[in-house]
Amino acid sequence: MSKIYGILLSLILLSPYSNHAAEIADSSSKRELILTTGIASSAAVSLIGINHVWYKNYPKTSFHLFDDFKEWNGMDKVGHVCTSYHLNHYSYLLLKKNGIKKPLLKSSLYTFSYMMGVEFIDGFSSEWGFSIYDVMANGIGSLMYASQEKWFKKQIFKIKFSSHFSEYSSCRPSLLGETPAQQIFKDYNGQTYWLTFNLNQLLNQKINFFNYVDFAVGYSIDGFTGAHENPIIATCPCHYDQCNNLKRKSQFLFSLDLNTDKIKSKNKVFKFLLAPFDIVKVPFPAIIINDDKPFRLFYI
C-alpha cells in the first residue's frame, strides 16, 4: 500500500514546481520529442525506484491476481483515485504549457499507463498481486480530472488529502509506521480523503465569500490495525489494553476548504508555499459522522 502514498508524497513535494510547469524553448516538434523522452525516462526511473524501495524485502513470484477490494474499508482505493487525479493534473499542465497537441488525451494515457506499471510490479510480488480494483480506481481518478477539464474547462470537484497522527500506530508500528513520516502515509486511521467543491461554480452564483471557500466531504476509517480484521496483539505497547479492543468503523466528515484557484499573487514565495494545498486540504473545523467526538474545532 505504501507505494501509492510514496507517489502521492512526491506529487505534494513537487507541486510548487509542477503548478508552474517550465516551458521548453524550442520548436514544437523538438519540444514534444524532449517532453516525451523526459516523461518516459522519468516514469521508467520512478518505477525502478519503486520496485527497489517497496519490494526489495519481499520475494518475487509468478504473475498473479489479488483481490483486495475489502481491505481497509476502501481507503487504499480512494488513495489510488486521488493519486491518479493529481498525476493527470500535473501532467496536463506540463503538456499544455509547452503547446503539445491533445495534451489532455496524452496526459490521461500517460497517467493510466504509469499507474498500470505500478500494478504490474505488484503482480509479481508474493506479498501483493495485480489488483483489478486498483486499475479501476486509477481509471476513475484520471477520468474525473479529464472529464471536468474537457467539459467545463475547470475542476468543479477536486480530490484532496489530509493526514494526522492516530493513536493506533504504536499497536503495529511495522505496518502502520515506525516514524512520524511513515505514519502519515502508512496509517490509514489518520488519513482522510476529501471531495471538495465550490458553491459558486456548482450553482453558477457570485457570492463573494464562496469565491475563496470550498465545501468538503471527507472519508476516513478508525480502529484498524489490520486490512481485513484486527489481529490479537499479545504484547501491547500501550499502558492499557487499547490495541485489542478497537471498534472498526468508517467515518464521513463535513468541513470547509480554501479555494486556492481564486487566490492570485505575484509573490513567488507565497505562490510556492500555497501550491501544495492544491493536493492537501487546509485544516478547518469538521463535523464527523460515527465518531465519539462528532465535532472538531481544528481537523487536520
Q: Where are the domains of the chain?
A: 1-153, 156-300
**30: exposed, middle or buried (C-beta count within 10 Å: 0-12, 13-18, 19+)?**
exposed
Would you state the pLDDT for residue 1? Answer: 53
Would you state the pLDDT for residue 294? Answer: 95
Helix axes 2-18, 75-97, angle to 10 degrees: 30
Would you state the pLDDT for residue 239? Answer: 46
Would you state the pLDDT for residue 252? Answer: 97
What are the grid coordinates assigned to 150, written together? 474537457
DSSP state of 287: E
Would you state the pLDDT for residue 19? Answer: 67
Would you state the pLDDT for residue 184? Answer: 86
Would you state the pLDDT for residue 289? Answer: 96
Helix, strand, coil percentages in the chain from 3-state DSSP, rounded to 5: 50, 15, 35
Cell 519490494 sits on residue:
55
Give the Cα separation of 125 and 195 in Å (integer): 32
Give the angle 251-257-258 at the CA atoms, nearest 5°.
165
DSSP element (H, E) containing 217: strand 213-222
Q: Which regions in the chain score pLDDT beneath 50? A: 239-240
Q: Is the dihedral of CA 95, 158, 256, 76 positive or negative?
A: negative
Residue pair 247/221 in contact (Cβ under 8 Å)? The answer is no
